[in-house]
Amino acid sequence: MVYELDRLMGEARRLAAEYRRATGRTLPISAEIAIADVIRLLGLEAAPADAPYDAVRRSGNAVEKLQVKGRVVFDSKRGGHRLGQLRLGEDWQATLLVLMDEDYEPYKIYQASHAALNKALGDKPSGKRGSISIARFRAIGDKVWERPEAPAA
């Protein structure tokens, strides 16, 4: 089953990258790829499909509920990349940000706590919508995984 899922994700990456090159548009599958990546790369468990979080990290009796966000960076020189909406009112302890290259392959994963994200977003209008830039997320979070020879972004 795991092998089949890895193979399916590999095919999804390839199709999404080819579609982008052919049309200039993106397929909205980076979120699902990001979840599969954190489960595989960080040894996490998938959350139940109806949960308000995406993955679970277990350590002894402790259970950490994690929201996962993925972002494909097609042009690292262009600034202003933003994440999709963070579900700040839901029950989770941290958010993982998976940065992917133009082939939808992960190159860095960052983690920021729910408390740190709430504090960073504060009362700003964008914060009320749960919107944050990648640069800001990286500044308040910690890098938890990096691909060897990762792009500078």
Residues ≥6 apart with Cβ < 8 Å to 102 = 17, 20, 72, 73, 74
Residue 134, pLDDT > 80, answer yes
Which CATH number do you get for residue 50?
Answer: 3.40.210
Domain membership flag for residue 153: no
**30 and 59 in contact (C-beta within 8 Å)?**
no
- Give the model confidence (pLDDT) of 39-82 as tens digits: 999 999 999 999 999 999 999 999 999 999 999 998 766 777 88
pTM equals 0.90
Q: Which residue has the tokens 């990546």?
A: 37
* Confidence band for 32, pLDDT divided at 50, 70 and 90: very high
Domain membership flag for residue 152: no
Domain membership flag for residue 41: yes
**Number of domains comprising the chain:** 1
- Give the model confidence (pLDDT) of 71-85 as tens digits: 999 876 677 788 888
pLDDT score recorded for residue 126: 53
Domain membership flag for residue 114: yes
Range of the domain at 124: 2-146
